[in-house]
């Protein structure tokens, strides 16, 4: 019974992770100098929308350095920005939800994430991407938004 429960939990975790995109780091710049430990940085990652082919999103976010950052124990600040662009012909793998999380990454050892949510503006035939940070108890109002217009002769297939 216990083994089945843990297998089910592991399967659900993997399934949830498969629905969100994974990012590739493009580069980063140091924002502070630390003599004997890693510097604080702003890192730029890119991920492809998992359902919308031809759209890539570039996400810049803070990474805390120092010894705690190197060990993965530090909490990164909530500063993040997103810019999504059409990088090829746009097509859809399936009908999409009017609002759906397309990316998330951990920004502290416990309970804090940077998330990117895709929203559909049906009236303007546009995909809107919002980046924000959340935490178990209190999130941050800091956010950034970007939009990708889909050609008017190609309606977005919304569920």
Q: What is the pLDDT of residue 9?
A: 35
Q: What is the pLDDT of residue 140?
A: 66
Q: pLDDT 10s per residue in the chain (159 long)?
A: 444 433 333 333 333 334 457 889 999 888 777 666 666 788 899 999 999 999 999 998 776 655 454 445 455 556 788 999 999 999 999 999 999 999 987 655 555 678 899 999 999 999 999 998 776 566 667 789 999 999 999 999 999
DSSP 4-65: HHHHHHHHHHHHHHHHS---EEEEEEESS--SSSPPPEEEEEEEE-SSEEEEEEEEEEEE--
Q: What is the pLDDT of residue 10?
A: 36
Q: Are 155 and 149 in contact (CB under 8 A)?
A: no
Q: What is the pLDDT of residue 56?
A: 97
Radius of gyration of the chain (CA): 18
Distances (CA, A) of 108 to 9, 69, 75, 119: 22, 9, 4, 26
In angstroms, the CA 41 to CA 61 distance is: 8
Backbone angles phi, psi at 16, to 5 degrees: -65, -40
Which among 113, 118, 142 has a CA at the least distance from the CA of 130?
118
Q: Where are the domains of the chain?
A: 22-149
Q: What is the pLDDT of residue 33?
A: 73
Q: What is the pLDDT of residue 19?
A: 46
DSSP SS3 for 68: helix
């Amino acid at each position: 019974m216990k083994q089945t429960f843990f297998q089910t939990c592991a399967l659900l975790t993997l399934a949830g992770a498969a629905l969100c995109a994974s990012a590739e780091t493009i580069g980063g710049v140091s924002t502070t100098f630390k003599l004997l430990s890693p510097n604080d940085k702003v890192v730029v990652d890119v991920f492809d929308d998992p359902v919308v082919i031809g759209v890539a999103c570039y996400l810049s976010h803070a990474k805390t350095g120092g010894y705690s950052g190197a060990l993965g124990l530090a909490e990164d600040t909530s500063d993040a920005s997103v810019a999504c662009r059409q990088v090829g012909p746009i097509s859809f793998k399936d009908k999409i939800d009017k609002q759906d999380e397309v990316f998330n990454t951990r920004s502290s050892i416990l309970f804090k994430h940077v998330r990117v949510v895709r929203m559909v503006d049906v009236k303007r035939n546009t995909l809107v991407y919002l980046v924000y940070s959340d935490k178990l108890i209190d999130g941050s109002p800091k956010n950034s938004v970007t939009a990708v217009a889909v050609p008017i002769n190609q309606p977005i297939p919304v569920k």
